[in-house]
Copies of this chain bind each other. A is one copy, B any other.
Amino acid sequence: MATNQRGKEKEILKAATIVFSDKGFHNANMGEIAQRAGIGKGTIYEYFKNKEDLFFQMVDFNLEHYIASLNDRVQSAVGFDEKFHGFIDFHYELVNRNMKLADFLFKSEQISLKAETKKKVADVLFNARARAVGIIADILRIGQQEGKIRDIDREFTADILINMILGCCGRHATRKQRDEGFALEKEKLMSMIMEGIG
């Protein structure tokens, strides 16, 4: 019944997630990741080819988790209103839970890595984003069926919404760090999304 043969991969990925998002790629060091994972430095190299590979796998691991969780949340909601609010709440919660990680993940494309790794990271991000866009586009489709959303380009709108949400959550996080108020923000955001400014 032996299950965790070579089972340290997840431990390492979790440790890497913490250290990378805390220190950034270049300031993170393999020793600290190993220490935090409770293993020897060399063990990391049994599971990952090198630091860049570990970084890429770590981004992939977390994005995979993000999309899966987001999907669960939206699937379990019923109707446009619930689904849309669920979608937005999910992101606020995500940022509240781990501001640094969320911000770091979505900006990991910026980090200067070898061309090959850079492409892999970019692809994985692009993919995750595309899936998130798909999820909102689907919500919008339901909204249209329910007559709550006007006839818009769903894909494009979904894309814009992702930007708004992530940007808004980022701001939210920054304000939280600065202890500024941000009450009622979500309501205003919803109103702006639904009715525009005109």
Interface residues of A (CB under 8 A from B): 23-27, 103-104, 107, 110-112, 126, 140, 143, 148-150, 152-153, 156-157, 159-160, 162-164, 166-168, 170-171, 174, 185, 188-189, 191-198
Inside 8 A of A140's CB, which chain B residues have their CB?
Answer: 197
Task: Please judge, given known A-B contacts A157-B192, A167-B164, whether A152 and B112 are in contact too, CB under 8 Å.
Answer: no
Distance between Cα atoms of A149 and B163 in the complex (Å):
22
CB of A18, distance to nearest CB on chain B (Å): 14
Inside 8 A of A24's CB, which chain B residues have their CB?
Answer: 26, 110-112
Distance between Cα atoms of A188 and B156 in the complex (Å):
8
Cβ-defined partner of A160 (8 Å) among B23, B110, B162, B192: B192
A-B contact pairs, 15 of them (CB 8 A): A23-B112, A24-B112, A103-B110, A126-B174, A140-B197, A143-B197, A150-B198, A153-B188, A156-B188, A157-B188, A162-B167, A163-B171, A167-B167, A193-B197, A196-B198
Distance between Cα atoms of A49 and B166 in the complex (Å):
35
Inside 8 A of A189's CB, which chain B residues have their CB?
Answer: 160
- Whether A168 pairs with B157 at a CB distance below 8 angstroms is no
Cβ-defined partner of A107 (8 Å) among B23, B107, B156, B174: B107
Distance between Cα atoms of A104 and B110 in the complex (Å):
7
- Whether A157 pairs with B27 at a CB distance below 8 angstroms is no
Task: Please judge, given known A-B contacts A27-B26, A163-B168, A163-B171, whether A149 and B110 are in contact too, CB under 8 Å.
Answer: no
